[in-house]
Structure 1
Amino acid sequence: MEVSQVVDDLFRAAIKHRASDIYFLPAENGYQIKIRNYNGITLWTQMDHLKARRMMNYCKYLADMILSEQRRPQLGAMQWQLDDAKFALRLSSVGNFNDHESLVIRIIYSLERTRDPFFNKAPIQLITKMTQKRGLIVFSGPTGAGKTTTIYRLVNELAENELVMTIEDPIEIEEAAFLQLQVNREAGMDYSDLIKVGLRHRPDVFIIGEIRDRLTAQAAINAALSGHLVYTTVHAQDPLGVIRRLTHLGVSDEYLNQALTAVAYQRLIPTVSGNPKALLVVHELEALTAKNTYDWEEWQRELKQARTKGVVSDETVKKFWEG
């Protein structure tokens, strides 16, 4: 089979399962190709080194990457036509300690192709109401939880009358109505740098892909304090952990009280029909800081209601009982 056909089959399978990433990972006797989606990472296939090398080189060639470089990090981008749809792909490669190259391919979906229905629309309505206050709205949850999709859906309703700017690493969803900027550290354009540049464009709404460090945290807080509506994500185990993470990154209690509007936690939950749904809970700052530990009460109530309606299984409830 031609290498182009094998790659097409791989991309077709990944997109069918709503994968966010495809991995080419060196193994003891060849390569493992894995796919990440809302259910985690699964093995697509294993193959010998030569066949995997041909597939990787084919992708690297299309992404304008250096084929002979298999050790140093590289980034690339390409478009892939699948039936009547075109998908943007972002590639990242690097060699391990044995100089065996690994490759990760991020699949970027257009907003109209993302389908993440919710168990309960009340949290979305609550966030929409909160946006009138402006300020910072932070989403947390694991990779592949649909956080960016939810943020884009919320902001998309504002794009017609307001300027929306996104800063991501990498861009996860293409949206022509937004001004989208991508982090490029080699060119000196990190999150904090692009936020500063972005403020000169005077956007009404910022989408910041992720707060990872002190500079980005401070820049996001400053943008919120200056009257912008800012959506972002922070890695944390639970909503209360978001507050602790921001504090750890140097954001004072005073600035949190002034800037933070809401914290949301989201995951994609498998359903008995096979189509995942997004479970989302939303909290205001005051409700979170009044707790010493997060009790998951609201989250668990939503899970139990879904089980009563026959939407999810007992095993799913048990697996996601504490986020």
Structure 2
Amino acid sequence: MPSFEEELARMIRKQPSDLYILPHDRYYQLSLAIKGTLLPFKQVTRDYGQRFISYLKYCANMAVSEHRRPQLGAFKFTYAHQKINLRLSSVGDYQGRESLVIRFIYPLNDIRFNFLVPHQWERLQQYRQQRGLILFAGPMGAGKTTTMYQLARQLLPKQIVLTIEDPVEIDHPGFIQLQVNELAGMNYESLLKLGLRHRPDVFIIGEIRDSQTAAMSVQAALSGHLVLGTIHARNAYGVISRLQQLGIDSYYLQQVLTAVSYQRLIPLVNGEQAILCDMLNRHQFSDLLNGTKKGEMSDEWSKALQQAVENGEITENTARQYQQG
């Protein structure tokens, strides 16, 4: 039987985003989330599963003897001379059976970055030069943070990049990385105020989730910063509506918003994934705010999917699956 450290290394070799250690009546199921799909890794005895969880909790400075109450923890694991951050979350069910989920946070250099339509990356780089507020939407695991980090990384070392996240998802030594801690009074709003005193050139905001954070993000962009952030919306057009719901006046939206990008990770026939974006620019915002244009996914999105089918990059079924975003 491999040691727990060897077991963890075998999993990381597959580059998963998450590890699930889930209890069943007579065994534990270990599953890995890889490229958006949850895949079974192996079944182990209940005794082995419980000891593996205890080992991981010990590494993360969690209470090993506590099996019912929710706990959070973190530690670094060295694999192939790289430090990988592990974020742990454990909880026990009503029968006292403990489950554990781990999020693997890889160095930015190890993350594959590929666009289904290459010129979309060029457009994002052009938008970056205009400063202002650039927002990204899409479901969890769509690569939004990776896209923002790649955009900001190209500005180093001539510009200072400060990130505010909950939690930090990618470790980058060139950025000033702040993490939200509500219990310590360090929310997005307070960290943004603190960040402005550091006078960075670029802000990365993990999530604009309330009116205060939205207002501070707009203020930072109006004062000349490049602000990259994520926001919950079902499509690019929905980002505008969401900002209005958070109390941002249409006048300021037209002044400060440079671009919006809704993105998904599209599975390719070769087993890899590629980012596809649906982007809006300033002119399209004006049409939307004036009520002359409404919609969900753009024609460009549909055409990109169809072109990928014709190029043999994705299947017809994949194109249908992602047609509505």
Q: Structure 1 stretch 156-165 or stretch 37-46: which is displaced more? A: 37-46
Distance across 2 between alignment mates of 1:223 and 1:98: 49
- In 2: Cα distance, 1:150 partner to 1:203 partner: 19
Decide which of 96, 100, 103 is 2:100's aligned counterpart: 103
Alpha carbons of 1:219 and 1:12: their partners in 2 closer, same or farther (altered >3 Å)? farther
Which residue matches 1:227? Answer: 224
Matches within 5 A, 1:148-227: 148-227=145-224
What pairs up with 1:79-98 in 2 under 5 angstroms? Answer: 79-98=76-95
Show CA shifts across 1:82-137 (max 9, x none). 23333111222234455543322111111111112112222222222222321111
Written as runs of structure 1 = structure 2, the 5 A alignment for 1:254-293 is 254-288=251-285, 289=288, 290-293=292-295
State TM-score, norm by structure 1.
Answer: 0.91
Tell me which residue corresponds to 2:63: 66
Contact 2:89 2:102 in 1 (8 A): yes
Q: Judge conservation of contact 2:125–2:151 (CA < 8 Å) in 1.
A: yes
Name which of 13, 17, 22 aligns with 2:11.
13
Quickly say closer, same or farther: Cα 1:119–1:102, change in 2 above 3 A: same
CA contact (8 A) 1:118 1:277 kept: yes
- Helix, strand or coil: the match of 1:235? coil
How far, CA to CA, are the matches of 2:238 and 2:10 in structure 1? 37
Answer yes or no: is the 8 Å Cα contact 2:278–2:297 preserved in 1: no
Could you list the per-position Cα deviations for residues 274-307 of structure 1 after superposition, in whole angstroms to 9, with x for gaps in the alignment? 1211112321144152432214311111111111
- Listed as ranges, the matches of 1:120-159 within 5 Å are 120-159=117-156
What SS is found at the alignment partner of 2:277?
strand
Query: Given the superposition, is the C-alpha separation of residues 295 and 209 from structure 1 closer, same or farther in structure 2, using an over 3 Å criterion?
Result: closer
Equivalent residues of 2:23, 2:29 under 8 A apart: yes
CA distance in 1, matches of 2:96, 2:248: 40
Q: Residue 321 of structure 1 aligns to which amino acid in structure 2?
A: Q
The 3-state SS of whatever aligns with 1:159 is coil
1: CA distance, partners of 2:12 / 2:220: 37
SS of equivalent residue, structure 2 residue 63? coil
CA–CA separation in structure 2 for the residues paired with 1:220 and 1:71: 39
Q: What one-letter code is carried by the residue in structure 2 that aligns with 1:193?
A: S
SS in 2 for 1:112: helix
Aligned length, in residue pairs? 320
Provide the residue aligned with 1:4 in structure 2.
4
> In the aligned structure 2, how far is the partner of 1:37 from the partner of 1:200?
39
The offset of 1:67, in angstroms, is 0.8
Q: Is the 8 A contact 1:3 1:55 kept in 2?
A: no
What amino acid sits opposite 1:60 in the alignment?
A: K
Cα RMSD between the aligned structures? Answer: 2.1
Whole-angstrom CA distance in 2 between matches of 1:266 and 1:310: 21
Q: Partners of 1:185 and 1:99 in 2: how far apart?
A: 28
Task: Indicate the SS of the match to 1:165.
Answer: strand
SS in 2 for 1:53: helix
Structure 2 portions without partners, runs of 5+: none
Moved more, 218-227 or 21-30: 21-30
Amino acid at match of 1:81: T
Instruction: Using the TM superposition, name which of 55-64 and 311-320 deviates more.
Output: 311-320
CA distance in 2, matches of 1:262, 1:93: 38
8 Å CA contact retained: 1:110, 1:175: yes
The match for 2:240 among 227, 238, 243 is: 243
The answer on 1:49 being equivalent to 2:51 is: no
Per-residue deviation at 1:63? 1.0
Q: Secondary structure at the match of 2:162?
A: strand
**C-alpha deviation, 1:180, in angstroms:** 0.8
- The one-character-per-residue Cα deviations of 1:251-273 (angstroms, maximum 9, x if unpaired) are 22222222211110111111121
Q: 1:214 to 1:92 in 2, by over 3 A?
A: farther
Q: C-alpha distance in 2, partners of 1:46/1:26? A: 10
Q: Structure 2 CA distance, aligned partners of 1:213 and 1:95?
A: 31
CA contact (8 A) 1:14 1:22 kept: no
SS in structure 2 of the partner of residue 242 of structure 1? helix
Aligned-residue sequence identity (percent) comes to: 45
Counterpart of 2:212, as a letter, is: L
Deviations 1:116-162 (A, max 9, x none): 21122222222222223211111111111111111111111112111
**Structure 1 unaligned runs (5+)?**
none
Tell me the distance in 2 between the aligned counterparts of 1:12 and 1:137.
38
